[in-house]
């Protein structure tokens, strides 16, 4: 058989095969997260076109079959033939790895979650992909199938308005690759697309979900990151009217900062580089944070608000209640860290510190009233921090935070190996008693919770420490809290919230999650938090007692009974209805139970949810509950 492959064909085949063999190397994982990376890759190419100044309208559509279209109104990909490969530029971009690298000097390459692996990876991981380029009054079209193989060369399929330009890419993720799911999550898409609209002021991004009637969002923010900060503070009480905005550029590196204080005790600070969310921070964030602390301390000292004898304000003091967005644009960013989301370029630290420091200093000088409000806020935070330190020391001295002291509350497990140890936080004494009886005492500790946990959404650390239940939990975890926090000291690698499947149970679970998210975020981010799933129904027939988790399991089980079996079915109200053995069998035994892991995939979204649900403003909570009521299953009203 004549082998008419050119060496270019072989390079293409090997490239696409390599991607399909080890997709994780190109998109991180083939889980739901990796599936969404396909969209980010294509969207980032459209955003690049916007950064280059040629596109101001992007549309993302999820079709009924979960294929996705991304359309931009940029110049349209070049439709020429690539001299080197003899292929159309389009075919090259979609079949040669890393061929999409668009700009040489000058432009910024926005890179997706894995920093621009390029459109060819999306093609390789799709059952089919189509490109339509609108330019010069023609629609240039090419279709690829089975992991990126071109069906035929690019061709003109129709014409279009003379002045219409742009690129549309439609693709269907390959279920052979994405075995977990090929279903796109609307919230995931809308959160990231909204973020991109905030970060690229004036760019309009539309998201349409054809799987649901009239499901559409349009994001466009002419105020850019100023509007981002205003959204972060939407459900909070801002301490000053104007959002402070600073921008500057040095050596082709641009720094943009927007900030506004609110009356909460948490900092909501998010940093980006070339639109990538630098979750792990980096030199841009360090530079801005250092400048913030320096400028605030200088201002407080120079205006005699901070006296000689007063301790300097710490970084945390200056960031309490601060909503801040930092956006750095860099022509050649170096990313480091566990998930490659930490900016490493050392030259940025000083540039960020100088640019932001100078801008903030000027703002404080020109707005003394706002400056005074901000300094007051930082001073109060400082006094509370010092009080909390004293409270911690006092409780430590009194032994309140010692494991021994709270004997009788915690039924600890015998194993000292955290990796196999679990702690159940159980609602109520009766369930607590059954859990202690039914548990595996080698690896399972039980901490019965008597009262309601304090709602710490609106509490500082010193206030949280005054709550008995919270002190007990801090001690049981072993990590310490606040400045003393050390994740390595965590005594259990599974922290399991076990509450009733009713309204009170859900309320206690949310209060616990608020505590963990606000004061133990690293524990949540490390995936140590779980929710037990006690049975919702008990079905009895003859001597058989069957517990099931939800309606679906109930119906599946009932379907297995012969029609002549009349049976009894009851909705479980509380953990207390089961004896120790049943509780263990259905909810605790590691071979039988079903746990739900709690993750904080999107910190910004979680921030919004907690401040809406647990904050003081009633209106946002009502709106949130109304919007999400349809998702609430097993309502016990
Ligand atoms: C729906 C996704 O991918 N839009 C894109 C362009 C525009 C150009 C370009 C893209 C040059 C040679 C690499 C056009 N005219 N949306 C998109 N829009 N790529 S991708 O150029 C590709 C580079 O190969 C473009 C002049 N310069 C650049």
For residue 262, the domain's CATH number is: 3.30.230.10
pLDDT value for 604: 64
Average pLDDT of the segment spanning 288-298: 98
**Does 170 share its domain with 248?**
no
Q: Which residues are catalytic?
A: 427, 500, 502, 504
- With respect to residue 8, please indicate whether it lies within any of the assigned structural domains: no
Pick the residue whose CA is nearest to atom 7 on ligand 1. 77
Q: How far is the CA of 79 from the centre of ligand 1 (A)?
A: 10
Helix axes 186-199, 32-51, angle to 10 degrees: 30
pLDDT on residue 393: 78
Residue 45 C-alpha to ligand 1 middle, in angstroms? 7
Stretch 158-166: mean pLDDT = 97
Burial of 84 (0-12, 13-18, 19+ CB in 10 A): exposed
Range among 169-173, 261-265, 508-512, 551-555 rated most confident? 169-173
Structural tokens at position 72: 């931009």
C-alpha–C-alpha distance, residues 126 and 145, integer Å: 7
Say yes or no: 213 and 159 in one domain: yes
| Residue to mutate, 167, 193, 207, ligand 1, most ligand atoms under 8 Å from C-beta | 167
For residue 167, the CA-to-ligand 1 centroid distance in Å is: 8
Are 196 and 297 members of one domain?
no
Tell me, yes or no, whether 462 lies in a domain: yes
Whole-number Å distance between alpha carbons of 637 and 622: 17
Q: How far is the CA of 546 from the centre of ligand 1 (A)?
A: 60
| Position 115 pLDDT exceeds 80 | no
| Ligand 1 contacts CB of residue 167 (under 6 A) | yes
Handedness of CA 261, 262, 266, 267 (dihedral sign): negative
Among candidate residues 346, 363, 392, the one where a domain is terminated: 392
pLDDT at 102: 45
Judge if 293 and 209 occupy the same domain.
Answer: no
Domain holding 154: CATH number?
3.30.565.10
pLDDT at 636 over 70: no
Angle at 474 between CA 465 and CA 501, to 5 degrees: 100
Residue 396: band (very low, low, confident or very high) from pLDDT cuts 50, 70, 90: low
Q: How far is the CA of 49 from the centre of ligand 1 (A)?
A: 7
Buried b (16+ CB within 10 A) or exposed e, 428-439: beebbbbbbebb
Instruction: Judge residue 275's burial from the number of C-beta atoms within 10 Å of its C-beta, 0-12 exposed, 13-18 middle, 19 or more buried.
Output: buried
- What is the residue-averaged pLDDT of the chain? 89
To test the ligand 1 pocket, which listed residue (38, 46, 71, 75) has its Cβ within 8 A of the most ligand atoms?
A: 75
Q: Is the CB of 85 under 6 A from ligand 1?
A: no
The verdict on 472 and 601 lying in the same domain is yes
Q: What is residue 113's predicted lDDT score, i.e. its pLDDT?
A: 39
Decide which of 392, 424, 443 is a domain's last residue. Answer: 392
| Co-location of 420 and 386 in the same domain | no
Q: Which of 151, 184, 219 marks a domain boundary?
A: 219
Q: Among the atoms of ligand 1, which is closest to the Cα of residue 78?
A: 14
What does the DSSP 8-state code read for residue 314?
Answer: P
- Residue 320 pLDDT greater than 60, yes or no: yes
Looking at the fold, whether 424 and 313 belong to one and the same domain comes out as no
Q: Region 589-598: what's the mean pLDDT?
A: 92
Q: How far is the CA of 137 from the centre of ligand 1 (A)?
A: 17
pLDDT value at 516 more than 70 = yes
Could you tell me if 362 and 427 lie in one domain?
Answer: no
Ligand 1 binding pocket includes 39 (Cβ within 6 Å): no
In a domain, 580, yes or no: no
> Which residue's CA is the nearest one to ligand 1's atom 25?
77
Interatomic CA distance for residues 140 and 134, integer angstroms: 7
Q: How does residue 235 score in pLDDT terms, banded at 50, 70 and 90?
A: confident
pLDDT on residue 104 = 37
Nearest CA to ligand 1 atom 16: 46
Distance 607 CA to ligand 1 centre (A): 36
Residues 171 and 113 in one domain: yes
Residue pLDDT, tens place only, 249-258: 999 999 999 9
The residue whose CA has the least distance to atom 4 of ligand 1 is 46
Q: Which of 78, 135, 170 to mutate to test the pocket of ligand 1 (most atoms within 8 A of CB)?
A: 78
Residue 66 above 70 pLDDT? Answer: yes
Which residue's CA is minimally distant from atom 6 of ligand 1?
Answer: 77
Tell me the pLDDT band of 400, cut-offs 50, 70 and 90: low
> pLDDT tens across 168-193, in order?
999 999 999 999 999 999 999 999 99
- Report residue 496's pLDDT band, with 50, 70 and 90 as the boundaries: very high
CA end-to-end span of the chain:
73
Ligand 1 close to Cβ of residue 282 (< 6 A): no
Q: Is 576 in the pocket of ligand 1 (CB under 6 A)?
A: no
74 Cβ inside 6 Å of ligand 1: yes
Which amino acid residue places its CA nearest to atom 13 of ligand 1? 102
Rounded-to-integer distance, Cα 247 and Cα 355, Å:
7
Distance from Cα 78 to the centre of ligand 1, integer Å: 6
In a domain, 507, yes or no: yes
Q: Which domain holds residue 476?
A: 400-534+596-631
Which of 40-44, 397-401, 629-633 tops mean pLDDT? 40-44
Number of domains making up the chain: 3
The reported pLDDT for the residue numbered 117 is 58
pLDDT in tens, 145-156: 999 999 999 999
Rounded to an integer, the average pLDDT of 335-363 is 95
205 and 75 part of one domain: yes
C-alpha to C-alpha distance for 477 and 487, rounded to whole angstroms: 9
Question: In the chain, count of helices (H) and strands (E)?
Answer: 20, 24
Residue 159 located in a structural domain: yes
75 and 125 belong to one structural domain: yes
- Does 637 reside within a domain? no
pLDDT at 106 over 50: no
Read off the CATH number of the domain in which 466 is found: 3.40.50.670
Give the alpha-carbon dihedral of 468, 473, 478, 480, to 10 degrees.
-60
Rounded Cα distance between 341 and 279, Å, is 6
Q: Are residues 480 and 413 in the same domain?
A: yes
pLDDT at residue 622 in the model = 77
Task: Among 80, 102, 105, say which to mutate for ligand 1: greatest number of ligand atoms within 8 Å of CB.
Answer: 102
Q: At what angle do helices 225-232 and 603-614 cross, to 10 degrees?
A: 40
DSSP string, 290-303: HHHHHHHHHHHHHT
pLDDT tens figures, 431-476 = 999 999 999 999 999 999 887 788 887 788 888 888 888 888 988 9
The CA 82 to ligand 1 mean position distance, Å, reads 14
45 lines ligand 1 (CB under 6 A): yes
Q: What is the pLDDT of residue 605?
A: 67
Q: Please give the pLDDT value at position 524.
A: 92
Residue 206's CB: how many other CB atoms inside 10 A?
A: 17
Which residue has its alpha carbon closest to ligand 1 atom 8? 77
Q: Does 169 sit in the ligand 1 pocket, CB within 6 Å?
A: yes
- Full-model pTM: 0.78
The pLDDT tens digits for 527-552 are 999 999 999 899 999 899 999 988 88
76 pLDDT above the threshold of 90: yes
- Is 547 among the domain residues? no
* Nearest CA, atom 17, ligand 1: 46
Does residue 578 belong to any structural domain of this protein? Answer: no
The pLDDT of residue 175: 98
Nearest CA to ligand 1 atom 19: 77
State whether the beta carbon of 102 lies less than 6 angstroms from ligand 1.
yes
Which has the higher per-residue pLDDT, 500 or 315? 315
Please report the pLDDT score of residue 631 as a whole number: 66
Rounded average pLDDT over 349-362: 98
């Amino acid at each position: 058989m004549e082998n008419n492959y050119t060496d270019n064909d072989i390079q293409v085949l090997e490239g696409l095969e390599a991607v399909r063999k080890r997709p994780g190397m190109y998109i991180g994982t083939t889980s739901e997260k990796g599936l969404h990376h396909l969209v980010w890759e294509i969207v980032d190419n459209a955003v690049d076109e916007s950064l280059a100044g040629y596109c101001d309208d992007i549309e993302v559509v999820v079709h009924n079959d979960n294929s996705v279209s991304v359309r931009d109104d940029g110049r349209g990909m070049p439709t020429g033939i690539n001299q080197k490969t003899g292929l159309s530029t389009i075919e090259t971009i979609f079949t040669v790895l890393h061929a999409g690298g668009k700009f040489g000097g000058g432009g910024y390459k926005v890179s997706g979650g894995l920093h621009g692996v390029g459109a060819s990876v999306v093609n390789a991981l799709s059952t089919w992909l189509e490109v339509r380029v609108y330019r010069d009054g023609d629609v240039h079209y090419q279709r690829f199938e089975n992991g990126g193989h071109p069906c035929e060369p690019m061709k003109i399929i129709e014409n279009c308005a003379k002045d219409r330009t742009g690129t549309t890419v439609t693709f269907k993720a390959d279920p052979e690759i994405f075995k977990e799911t090929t279903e796109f999550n609307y919230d995931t898409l809308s959160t990231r697309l909204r973020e991109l609209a905030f970060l690229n002021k004036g760019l309009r991004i539309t998201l349409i979900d054809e799987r649901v009637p009239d499901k559409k969002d349009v994001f466009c923010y002419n105020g850019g990151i100023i509007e981002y900060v205003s959204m972060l503070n939407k459900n909070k009480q801002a301490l000053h009217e104007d959002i402070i905005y600073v921008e500057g550029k040095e050596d082709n590196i641009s720094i943009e900062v927007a900030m506004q204080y609110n009356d909460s005790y948490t900092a909501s600070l998010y940093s980006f580089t070339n639109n990538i969310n630098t979750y792990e921070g980096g030199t841009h964030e360090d530079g801005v944070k250092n400048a913030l602390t320096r400028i605030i301390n200088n201002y407080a000292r120079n205006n005699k608000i901070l006296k000689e004898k007063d301790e300097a304000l710490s970084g945390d003091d200056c960031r309490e209640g601060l909503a801040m967005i930092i956006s750095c644009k860099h022509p050649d960013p170096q990313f480091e860290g566990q998930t490659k989301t930490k900016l490493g370029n050392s030259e940025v630290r000083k540039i960020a510190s100088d640019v932001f420091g100078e801008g903030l200093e000027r703002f404080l000088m020109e707005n003394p009233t706002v400056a005074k409000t901000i300094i007051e806020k930082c001073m109060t935070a400082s006094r509370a921090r010092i009080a909390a330190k004293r409270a911690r020391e006092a409780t430590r001295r009194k032994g309140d935070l010692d494991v021994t002291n709270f004997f009788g509350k915690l039924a600890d497990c015998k194993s000292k190996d955290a990796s196999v140890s679990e702690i159940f936080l159980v609602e109520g004494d009766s369930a607590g008693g059954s859990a202690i009886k039914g548990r595996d005492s080698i690896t399972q500790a039980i901490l019965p919770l008597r009262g309601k946990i304090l709602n710490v959404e609106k509490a500082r650390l010193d206030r949280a420490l005054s709550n008995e239940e919270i002190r007990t939990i801090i001690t049981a975890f072993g990590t310490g809290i606040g400045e003393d926090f050390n994740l390595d000291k965590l005594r259990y690698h599974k922290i399991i919230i076990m509450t009733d499947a009713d309204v009170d149970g859900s309320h206690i679970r949310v209060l616990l999650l608020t505590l963990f998210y606000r004061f133990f975020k690293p524990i949540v981010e490390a995936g140590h938090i779980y929710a037990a799933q006690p049975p919702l129904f008990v079905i009895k027939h003859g001597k058989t007692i069957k517990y099931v988790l939800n309606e679906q399991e109930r119906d599946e089980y009932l379907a297995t009974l012969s029609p002549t079996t009349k049976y009894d079915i009851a909705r479980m109200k509380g953990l207390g209805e089961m004896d120790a053995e049943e509780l263990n069998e259905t909810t605790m035994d590691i071979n039988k139970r079903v746990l739900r892991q709690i993750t904080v995939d999107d910190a910004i979204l979680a921030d919004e949810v907690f401040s809406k649900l647990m904050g003081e403003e009633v209106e946002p909570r009502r709106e949130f509950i109304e919007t999400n009521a349809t998702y609430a299953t097993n309502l016990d009203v």
